[in-house]
Amino acid sequence: MLLLVAKPLPSVLVITPEQHLPGEQQALEGLLAAGARIHLRKPGLEAAALSHFLAALPDEARRGITLHGPRDVAEDLGCGGWHHPQASAGNELRGSRSWHRLSEPCAGVDYGLLSPIWPSTSKPGYGPMWTVEQLRHAAQTWPVPVYALGGVTPAHCTRARALGFAGVAVLGWLWQAGAATTLDRWHELRCAWDSAAP
C-alpha cells in the first residue's frame, strides 16, 4: 500500500540524476536521514532493478521517496509518494506531477513541478520560456503548491518565493560536485529558502 505522508511539504525537493553516481546510495541515505524529500528518477532502470535499488535503502527512509516509476513498485516498497507520468491525468492516487507549459493542468495531485524556470544545469540549452510577469500571474491560479525546477541554485530562492512558488526542486546544482557534497548543498539550499523574504 502506498503511504501518503500527511506532514507539510518541504521547501526543497531533491531529484536524483538519471544515471547512477559513485556514492549515490550513501548520499541518498544521508539526505533521507536528514529529512530530505527525494524524487527518485531512474528512467533507464527496469522495474526489477528499481526495486533492488529501493530495497537497499532502510524501510523508514523509503517513506521520504517519491518514485518516478511503476506505481506497484512504489506501493510494494513503501515509498512515500508516486510521481504521475504525463499520461495518467485523473488517476485517483495522489502524488506529484511535472509540467512544462503554464497552461497544463495540475489537478489530481498534491503538488506540481514546473520547469524550466532558469537555465538548466543538467540539460544544457534548456532554459526559461516565460517572463516574470507570466509566472507571477500563473502562480495566482495554481490549485496546488508548485515547485520551481530548472537551474535552481541558492541564489534563486528569493525570486522563487516572490513569484509564488511553494519551494524549489533541484537536480543539477545539487549533484554536479559529486555525491559527497549533496547533504551540504541541500542544507545550503534550505537555508537560502528559509532566509528569503516570503
Within 13 A of 16's CA, how many CA atoms are on the CB side?
32
Going by pLDDT thresholds of 50, 70 and 90, the confidence category of residue 167 is very high
Q: 152: closest CA among 133, 140, 167, 137?
A: 167
Q: 116 preceded by cis ω (within 30°)?
A: yes
Structure confidence by residue, pLDDT tens digits, 36-85: 999 999 998 999 999 999 999 999 899 999 999 998 999 999 999 889 87
Q: 134: closest CA among 154, 163, 106?
A: 163
Q: Which domains does the chain have, with CATH numbers?
A: 12-21+29-195 (3.20.20.70)
Structure confidence by residue, pLDDT tens digits, 95-118: 888 888 887 767 778 899 999 999
Whole-angstrom distance, CA of residue 13 vs CA of residue 38: 6
Residue 160 has pLDDT above 50, yes or no: yes
151 near 123, Cβ under 8 Å?
no
Structure confidence by residue, pLDDT tens digits, 112-159: 999 999 988 887 888 888 999 999 999 988 888 999 999 999 999 999
